[in-house]
Amino acid sequence: MRHKVLSIVLVLIMLMTSFVIGEEVVKGPYVDKVFVNIRTQEEIGLKDAAEGLTDIFFWGVDGSTFFGLDNDTVSKLEVYNIPSGSWSLLLNPIPNAAPYQWEREGVTYFNPFAIKDVRFAINFLINRKYMVDEILNGAGSPMFDAFTPGQPGVYKYNLLGNEFGFTPEGNETKALKDIEDAMNAAAKLPENAGRLKKGDKYWEFDGEPVTIKFCIRVDDPNGRLRQGHYVSDQLEKAGFMVERLLWDRARCSDVVYFGDPADYAWHMYTEGWGAGATRKWWTVSVAQMYAPFFSNMPGYQDPNFWNYTNDAIDDLTLAAWNGQFLSTQEYWDLVLPASRMGLQEAVRIYTCSQDQFFAANKERFNKRFAYGLGDGLNRWSLITANTPDKELKITEYSARGALFMSSWNPVGTQGFNDTYSIVLAAPCYDAASFESPVSADTIPYKANWDNEDIVIKARRVGEEIVGDIPVPSNALRYDTVQDKWVEVGDGLTCTSKCTFTFNFSNAHHGMRQGIVDLLYFQAFIEEWARNDGETDPEFDAGYSAFWLDTLETIKGWEVDMDAETITVYFNYNFPPDLPRVAARGAPGFTVIGSSKNVGVIWEIDEALKLIVLEDNASGTPYSFSAASENEVDVLVPEIVADIRAKLVEMKERGHVPESIKEYMTVEQAKAAYEATIKFIDEHGHAFISNGPFYINKYVPEDSYIELAAFRDESYPFTADHWMETFAVPRLAIRKVNMSALLPRGKDFEVTVKASQIIFPETTTLPADNGEVEVKILAEEEISAKAQVTNTGEFKVVIPGSETANLEPGTYNVLIIASMEGGVPASMSKSIVVW
């Protein structure tokens, strides 16, 4: 009997072990399927989540919408409240020079937004506090720049508004005077004399009112529609007639983002932004929102358009973007002046940040899923969503009634340029590295490195940063003239060196990615970013504007095909953050001409290239440019048919891309094309990537899309792995006690009550460790670290000897609470020193 019991116990242990092992080796996300639909009203999407008709309403609603829900609905929701949204006003500054006139179809117009002083005065004309209090129901903060208040690493940027005297309430009297002065000065220019006059109500040019064509998002009725009407009223106070173009996102995008500013079809647009990522360093935001090179300012670097230019901002942001500095201070000396110039130029004016409320059905999940502390629900939410039946229903919001508002173009600068597209494309793609949604630290993903092996040798020679690491003469670079990988030769040096291994696995069509794929991607980028002459067909100016300066930092690749490693020699330095240096040098798994986290397999990139360059089955003249009527898109059935036909042709003629001819046989290429064609036939689209999900079905006429888990045994990651990676403690500030008045020379005491939270849960415990820092943001910053006095309580005293040097006035006090591995929490308060 004893042996029988022992046998039963052993069998049970074996079964349990098998189950556990089985659970461990299930690759990819928790759920097997993700079903996606849309709702055209936010309130309905939220109620659907509450009633179990959908699992997640994958859209952050503003406070005005969320606070309008009834208690019964709210009680059924698991709410993720994230300060992840922001609003801005984009202005068309054409021609951005005196006499501020623009001719269109034989008519000459006067553009007041071509005057920098008029644009800048809008910062005082608008009352940001009104927008937050009345439109957002208090769920947000006034915002003067592109950097979300309260996020880590932004307080130095947020101080720039103080330099210009920006206040939450604005200063309408000052704004109206400044605009009047600027317009009077313009009226005195010889070209405008007698033509530009102030009428009874409006400024007039050639007898017609000076008119602002204001694109206002009508599909955001509780938010940007109300903001647009408010700003319009303010502009009319300044003497401008406002033509309120109440359009949905698609029409606004077509005119503003995909149209030529020279068409003079718009002057102002109510932009809305998601944070995009949880960030530690905001270089990308400086470039994206203020620098023309990033292809996100009017004209968007399209060579056929009029383009806003600013070489000074470009030079500073490119130096920061490409790591051309030797210290943290030098970094700030690049990004802060660039941001300051961006505020002065006022082509993009931020108005407020939004607390956004994402909602899930409280009963449908085994546990809370991961999300970005700075950007809300994202790819990690889908990967770590854990439901009992392994199915997940998500609902997107679209007032237009369509899933996507931009093309699924995996090459061009404007592809995947909407929230809806990224929600579904991002979890289907794995990049070389990513920024943690919890800590904002750079984490290896498909590429691996050892921080201890990162070598940096950089010094300054005059205005240049030079490196002292010799680049081996047999290291490779891609020569776009010879169309082949060549040795770099003798004499090259660089600042940084890192060796990468890779988590190679099968892509969604079943073919393994490897070193050859990375060689292809890099060569593709080089080819389309470098102009080999006036007749070079493989060149795109907008694409080049995004990529070329980055390419110049890459000095050579040392490739070991057998060991599957690549040692990269490059010029990029970021002294505060070694992993960021490594990530910048890591070979990529995409060719996209933007910072969007999306990529497809090389076979699709090659087919897209060939339907652009060669004849294709339909005879359509395709382009990678969003300005084209025939921008490539891997979901549109007619374009997918051309992609498939080109793949068949590529297979029949034994086509091997020039860039990898030395590394791939014709038979290997044919097998790859065959697998790609098979995937297209089975799934009806050409978005084939390498991530934990793939698009199983797409029915555009029904606005239906279905994601399926990629369960290939070669896939390296499990959802458990990521939940364990992200399960780090962080501090949350519950209360700050401090005096609102401070006599100079007196001690300044601050008590901070903080809790500890283990991500992604919401249960809190009083904190007994961590670091709390208090900063008085004066010209000479004063800071001190707090000490734990009781569990959950930190106290700091800044001595009177330091406050004695403060000039009388109002100062911002910043409180930062952090634990290792988690995003710092911050709170800002003000104090009056007298």
CATH number, domain at 827? 2.60.40.10
Note the pLDDT of residue 399: 63
Residues 6 or more apart whose CB falls under 8 angstroms from that of 385 comprise: 29, 30, 31, 55, 56, 365, 369, 392
Mean pLDDT of the chain, nearest integer: 92
Alpha helices for 246-367 (secondary structure H): 249-256, 283-290, 311-321, 328-345
Phi, psi of 766 (to 5 degrees): -60, 135
Structure tokens at 138: 């208090």
Among candidate residues 353, 374, 402, the one where a domain is terminated: 353
User: How far from the centroid of its chain's Cα atoms is residue 122's Cα?
Assistant: 26
CATH label of the domain that carries residue 271: 3.10.105.10
Q: Are 345 and 480 within one domain?
A: no
Q: What's the CATH number where 687 sits?
A: 3.90.76.10
Q: Say what the pLDDT of residue 599 is.
A: 97
pLDDT band with cut points at 50, 70 and 90 for residue 702:
confident
Mean pLDDT, rounded, for 601-608: 98
Encoded amino acid at 605, one letter: D
- Based on the fold, state whether residues 492 and 638 are members of the same structural domain: yes
**For 425-453, what is the mean pLDDT?**
94
Is the separation of the CB atoms in 132 and 142 below 8 Å? yes
Please check whether residues 258 and 326 belong to one and the same domain: yes
**Do residues 609 and 464 share a domain?**
yes
**Contact between 380 and 437 (Cβ < 8 Å):** yes
> In the chain, what's the furthest Cα-to-Cα distance?
111
Residue with tokens 């300012």: 297
The torsion angles phi and psi of 697, rounded to 5 degrees, stand at: -140, 145
Reported as a single tens digit per residue, the pLDDT across 257-293 is 989 999 999 999 999 998 777 888 899 999 999 999 9
- Residue 172 contacts residue 179 (beta carbons within 8 Å): no
Same domain, 671 and 556: yes
pLDDT of the residue at 824: 82
**Token pair for 68:** 């309008």
344 in any annotated domain: yes
Which residue type sits at 677? I
Does 628 have pLDDT greater than 60? Answer: yes
Residue-range definition of the domain harbouring residue 348: 85-312+321-353
pLDDT band at 216 (very low <50, low <70, confident <90, very high): very high
In a domain, 36, yes or no: no
Same domain, 765 and 665: no
Q: Among 668, 691, 714, identify where a domain stops.
A: 691
Strands (E), 40-152: 56-61, 77-91, 101-104, 107-110, 140-142
Q: For the stretch 291-328, what's the b/e string if a residue is b when 16 or more beta carbons lie within 10 angstroms of its beta carbon?
A: bbbbbbbbbbbbeebbbbebeebbebbbbbbbbbbbee
Q: Is position 698 within any domain?
A: no
Residues 630 and 741 reside in one and the same domain: no
pLDDT category of residue 153 using cuts at 50, 70 and 90: confident
Question: In this structure, how many other beta carbons lie within 10 angstroms of the beta carbon of residue 202?
Answer: 18
Query: Within this chain, do residues 488 and 611 fall inside the same structural domain, yes or no?
Result: yes
Other beta carbons within 10 angstroms of residue 367's beta carbon come to 11
pLDDT band at 7 (very low <50, low <70, confident <90, very high): very low
SS3 state at 53: coil
Residue 400 has pLDDT above 70, yes or no: no
**230 and 140 within one domain:** yes
Distance CA 728, CA 711 (A): 27
**What average pLDDT score do residues 28-44 get?**
94
Count up the domains in the chain and report the number: 3
- Do 212 and 335 share a domain, yes or no? yes
C-alpha to C-alpha distances, 376 to 276, 438, 578, 760, nearest whole angstrom: 9, 11, 26, 12
DSSP notation for 322-352: TT--SSHHHHHHHHHHHHHHHHHH-SEEEEE
407 within 8 A of 420, measured Cβ to Cβ: no
pLDDT (tens digit per residue) in 498-528: 999 999 999 999 999 999 999 999 999 999 9
In a domain, 220, yes or no: yes
Task: Answer yes or no: do 654 and 746 share one domain.
Answer: no
* Structure confidence at residue 286 (pLDDT): 96
Specify if 571 maps to a domain. yes
The yes-or-no verdict on residue 13 having pLDDT over 60 is: no
Find, among 819, 774, 780, 817, the residue nearest to 797 by Cα: 774
**58: in domain:** no
Three-state secondary structure call for residue 478: strand
Q: How confident is the model at residue 24 (pLDDT cuts 50, 70, 90)?
A: low
Is 684 contained in some domain? yes
Q: What is the pLDDT of residue 449?
A: 97
CB 166 within 8 A of CB 144: yes
The pLDDT-based confidence of 69 (bands split at 50, 70, 90) is: very high
What is the model's pLDDT at position 6?
A: 34
How many percent of the chain have pLDDT more than 90? Answer: 75
Structural domain contains residue 623: yes
Calculate the alpha carbon distances from 717 to 27, 725, 756 in Å. 6, 11, 28
| pLDDT band per the 50, 70, 90 thresholds, residue 5 | very low
Q: Is 609 strand, coil or helix? A: helix
Looking at residue 495, what is its pLDDT?
Answer: 97
DSSP state letter for 627: T
Best CA proximity match to 96, nearest among 303, 308, 259: 308
Domain-ending residue, one of 641, 672, 691? 691
Judge if 678 and 733 occupy the same domain.
Answer: no
Are 459 and 466 in contact by the 8 Å Cβ rule? The answer is: yes
* Residue 655 DSSP symbol: -
